[in-house]
Structure 1
Amino acid sequence: MQRYEKYKDSGVNWIGEIPEHWEVVKLKFLGKAIIGLTYSPNDLCSENEGTLVLRSSNLLNGRFVYGEKENSYVSSKIPEKLKIRKNDILICSRNGSRDLIGKCAIATANDEGNSFGAFTTVFRSDLNNYLFKILNSNIFKNLSGSFLTSTINQLTIGNLNSISVPIPPLPEQQTIATFLDDKTTKIDQTITIKEKEIELLKERRQILIQKAVTKGLNQDAPDLRMDRISDGENNPEILKSSKSRFRQMKDSGVDWIGEIPEHWEVRKLKYFIQNLEGGVSVNASESESAEADDFGVLKTSCVYNYYFEAKENKKVFENEKGRVSCQVRKGAIIISRMNAPELVGASGLVLEEYPNLFLPDRLWQTVYRNNISFDPVWLSKILINKGFRNYMTTFANGSSPSMKNISKGDFLNITVPFSPKSEQTQIVSYLEEIEEKIAKAISLKEQEIEKLKEYKTVLIDNVVTGKVKVV
């Protein structure tokens, strides 16, 4: 890309040099910053009875997202100035996470009429289409973070108004905005494609796990049963050959399992698991994880991704160390007994020793029966397959639509397919090889996405500060 012919010092560290004909102007001279609506829990109401109040959780990748988990509606009368207008820039000005301060989104006509919460700030200006490119840049996010103190994560209106930004002549603003809209849209479209490819890989992994743990490794078996080989009745040689090549299947009697190899059995989980032990809730840090010498209590998120993540824990406060119970054990399967409906029963196998990690009351870990020979890794694959997870949610109960739980009795009485130990070993070996390949493919695509995001960030930063000339 080209550079401008002449540059001058902007006098602002974060901006550096700018084209000679550009200006540097504080935001307070370009528009008006408005702090969001303050409301109480008593003001909350149903969708049909109130006004939607957008929060920082509604801001994603420069746009507004709407969903059941993000939406809040209030019944109180909303002043006109606190109703969103087209091209308003909504900025996260206060949050528990410092990294989220400064993220923003620009409103479209579809967002008009909604309000915004007190932890957000609207910036309203005639130049918003161009200003959004600056405020959505990585440079601005880093700059807004410099105003935060150690005691409170907040970008005040005073600090926001004091921020200086580079302003080119209006025709260049329009050219820059159009250029960035085109480029970033194409980058975002490519990112979306790659994200969908990752989801397809994850779906493929689930399909392979489901087939392996319910049908075995002979993938032809379900469709090539003896009684489906039409020539077999009249051709003994074909019948004999078929017997050596394909195993017969039988109905498991369980909907989520379907047919299984004829020599397999079905067993309830209590056949393998003697008990499900859990911990207790203790006071712990919401922002710090346990270090080597600390005690940590697991978060339910430690099993969200179909495997166990030890880093998903909270550092236990010193005066609470005596209350922790149920130490995490290598070889046990950690299970979420209470969670959002789609995450009830999420689980993961513990592969290493973690002497300083403990369970909260919302997680279980398995205690196996000593007299039953089976591979715990094989059992963990059954518990993470999609068919099992979907079936298990039918047992989840609770009055809250966003929080469900499952009882020990219901969980241990779920029926699963039971293959011979030698086949369990083969299934585990096969799945670990497959999962490793898929994990590598996912990792490569994630790296590609990060590079695209980095390129997008650098592009925006360079263009809005005039380091490159848009023609």
Structure 2
Amino acid sequence: MMKISEMPKYEVYKDSGVEWIGAIPVHWNSFPLCAKSKLKSISNNENEELLSVYLDKGVIKFDDVDAKRTNTTSSDLTKYQLVDPGDFVLNNQQAWRGSVGVSDYRGIVSPAYLVLSLSEDIVPRFGNYLFRDGAMVANYLVSSKGVGTIQRNLYWPQLKRALVFLPPTEEQLLIACFLDKKTALIDEAISIKEKQINLLKERKQIIIQQAVTQGLDPNVPMKDSGVDWIGKIPAHWGCTAVKRLLDIPITDGPHTTPQLHDEGIPFISAEAIKGGEINFDKKRGYINEKDYLLFSNKYTPKVNDIYMVKSGATTGRVAIVRTEMKFTIWSPLAVFRVDKNKLNPLYLYYFLQSYSFLKGVELSWSFGTQQNIGMGVLGNLFALAPPLEEQQLIVNSIEPHFREIDIASEQVYQQIEKLKEYKTTLINSAVTGKIKITPEMVEQ
């Protein structure tokens, strides 16, 4: 891909007067957003298709409308707002993060959203790139108010004065065509690399399944485990309810919602559990010392504790505590603390990720508004218990393979991040006039 620094520039620029925009081409004009859009709120269209706005996708529609409607926060859709193709839609509480977009569809959105009809001076495809670009997102942050960093409300009286910088419509269309073509190529490259990541994850899963359910000796005598989803296991291994292998009963975090702060003690929930680790960058927020001491009466994290997500879309994901840093957890996480006289913590950590255990989880969870599995049910699921010495050998055999796979995965992740960064910079450079898009560039 061509370096952005090597792409052509406009001949003459002028100061935009806006710090995060910088210089713009001299023939581009600035307008307050309200001069090129109009706030609209048309209700009583409950039979239209439901739409929403997502951070990474913009305005989307749902293929299974009826299923989605059963999960809406309101059964009364008469107040939902009509959106026409070409309308600009902003998620009122998440716009400051970039959850906005120009719609390709007709449908209805939450009454809490802002819906703007755009002037003919804005080409919708160009507008979608412009309004989702970081330079415009800065305006949504300035025009939003809220406590902390979890949720902020966007206010139209402030937003309407935000400046938009527009080239002529013919130039907008040229830029949109260029970005459509180039971002599609970047997205395709990202998709290929994500498939490589998935293959590496599958390789991990195969290694785990073989080692924790079959052992390391291919010639060892086998017996029926008595559990359909586990099958045959080495004859000298035990198979028992996981609760009998633990040092404390399975527990979880508080079922109350604490006040979150911008600093303090990390408060961890399901979104931080990924890839077998706790990602503290994905913490739910921070709590104060008073709440931490209160929650610690129920549970205090300890090195080698294992967490499993027990509710929501990621039910079954696990992570192991590898830090002595002070933090605590919320109720969606179940805690496994092993009896070290019976289990190696790392052996259980790997076993909980095996196809066999995850199949047991899947067969046992219940559905309400989301999938869920209770701690009592988890405790009664079966786990395998080889001799302790053999558990350590199994762990020792798994970890070198994982290090190789993790190194390969990290290299691919870095490539993906560079592609995403290139895409973001390319869009920003095009919609703010930092580069000049020519017809030849569109054809390349």
Instruction: Check conservation: 1:373, 1:421, Cα contact below 8 A.
Output: yes
1:77 aligns with 2:99: no
Counterpart in the other structure of 1:112: 106
Aligned AA (1:31): S
Q: Structure 1 stretches of 5 or more lacking a match?
A: 44-48, 222-245
Counterpart in the other structure of 1:62: 58
Counterpart in the other structure of 2:441: none
Q: Deviations over 1:40-70 (max 9, x none)?
A: xxx9xxxxx85555444x4533342637679
1:273 aligns with 2:246: yes
Give the SS at the match of 1:105: strand
1:249–1:122 distance in 2 versus 1, CA, 3 Å: farther
Counterpart in the other structure of 1:454: 421
1:143 aligns with 2:116: no
1:36–1:138 distance in 2 versus 1, CA, 3 Å: farther
Instruction: Check conservation: 1:26, 1:161, Cα contact below 8 A.
Output: yes
Counterpart in the other structure of 1:392: 361
Counterpart in the other structure of 1:23: 29
Q: Higher mean Cα deviation, 277-286 or 193-202?
A: 277-286
Counterpart in the other structure of 1:257: 230
The residue correspondences of 1:118-197 to structure 2 (distance < 5 A) are 118-126=112-120, 127=122, 128-149=124-145, 153-197=152-196
Instruction: Check conservation: 2:101, 2:131, Cα contact below 8 A.
Output: no
Q: Deviations over 1:77-107 (max 9, x none)?
A: 368xx32111222223333xx752x432232
Instruction: Check conservation: 1:35, 1:121, Cα contact below 8 A.
Output: yes
1:213–1:120 distance in 2 versus 1, CA, 3 Å: farther
Shift of 1:388: 0.5
Shift of 1:391: 1.1
Q: Higher mean Cα deviation, 60-69 or 415-424?
A: 60-69
Which of residues 38, 41, 48 is equivalent to 1:32?
Answer: 38
Instruction: Check conservation: 1:282, 1:323, Cα contact below 8 A.
Output: no
Q: Deviations over 1:282-324 (max 9, x none)?
A: 5523354644xxxx55434454543345663654445545532
Shift of 1:428: 0.6
Q: Deviations over 1:145-180 (max 9, x none)?
A: 233346582332233332222222232222111111
Question: How far apart, CA to CA, are the structure 1 residues paired with 2:285 and 2:37?
Answer: 42
Shift of 1:378: 0.7
Give the SS at the match of 1:348: strand
Q: CA RMSD in A?
A: 3.3
Instruction: Check conservation: 2:140, 2:154, Cα contact below 8 A.
Output: yes
Question: How far apart, CA to CA, are the structure 2 residues paired with 1:69 and 1:288?
Answer: 33
1:59–1:112 distance in 2 versus 1, CA, 3 Å: farther
Question: How far apart, CA to CA, are the structure 1 residues paired with 2:351 and 2:243?
Answer: 14
Question: How far apart, CA to CA, are the structure 2 residues paired with 1:154 and 1:401?
Answer: 26
Counterpart in the other structure of 2:13: 7
Aligned AA (2:109): S
1:169–1:321 distance in 2 versus 1, CA, 3 Å: closer
Counterpart in the other structure of 2:324: 353
Shift of 1:209: 0.9
Counterpart in the other structure of 2:385: 418
Instruction: Check conservation: 1:282, 1:316, Cα contact below 8 A.
Output: no
1:444 aligns with 2:411: yes
1:29–1:120 distance in 2 versus 1, CA, 3 Å: closer
Q: Deviations over 1:262-298 (max 9, x none)?
A: 443433324422531535445523354644xxxx554
Instruction: Check conservation: 2:430, 2:437, Cα contact below 8 A.
Output: yes
Question: How far apart, CA to CA, are the structure 2 residues paired with 1:439 and 1:117?
Answer: 45
Counterpart in the other structure of 1:339: 311
Question: How far apart, CA to CA, are the structure 2 residues paired with 1:172 and 1:317?
Answer: 52
Instruction: Check conservation: 1:36, 1:119, Cα contact below 8 A.
Output: no
Counterpart in the other structure of 1:467: 434
1:315–1:375 distance in 2 versus 1, CA, 3 Å: same
1:313–1:440 distance in 2 versus 1, CA, 3 Å: same
Question: How far apart, CA to CA, are the structure 2 residues paired with 1:93 and 1:132?
Answer: 17
Counterpart in the other structure of 1:307: 277
Q: Give aligned pairs, total.
A: 418
Question: How far apart, CA to CA, are the structure 1 residues paired with 2:294 and 2:333?
Answer: 16
1:420–1:456 distance in 2 versus 1, CA, 3 Å: same
TM-score by length of 2: 0.81
Give the SS at the match of 1:462: helix
1:323–1:431 distance in 2 versus 1, CA, 3 Å: same
Give the SS at the match of 1:185: helix
Aligned AA (1:347): V
Shift of 1:432: 1.7
Question: How far apart, CA to CA, are the structure 1 residues paired with 2:91 and 2:410?
Answer: 30
Instruction: Check conservation: 1:15, 1:165, Cα contact below 8 A.
Output: no
1:365 aligns with 2:339: no
Aligned AA (1:405): I
1:284 aligns with 2:258: yes
Question: How far apart, CA to CA, are the structure 2 residues paired with 1:285 and 1:248?
Answer: 56
1:404 aligns with 2:351: no
Counterpart in the other structure of 1:234: none
TM-score by length of 1: 0.77
Instruction: Check conservation: 1:90, 1:107, Cα contact below 8 A.
Output: yes
Instruction: Check conservation: 1:52, 1:74, Cα contact below 8 A.
Output: no
Shift of 1:191: 1.7
Instruction: Check conservation: 1:249, 1:262, Cα contact below 8 A.
Output: yes
Query: What percentage of residue pairs aligned between the two structures are identical?
Result: 28
* Structure number with larger C-alpha Rg: 1
1:24–1:411 distance in 2 versus 1, CA, 3 Å: closer
Question: How far apart, CA to CA, are the structure 2 residues paired with 1:329 and 1:374?
Answer: 16
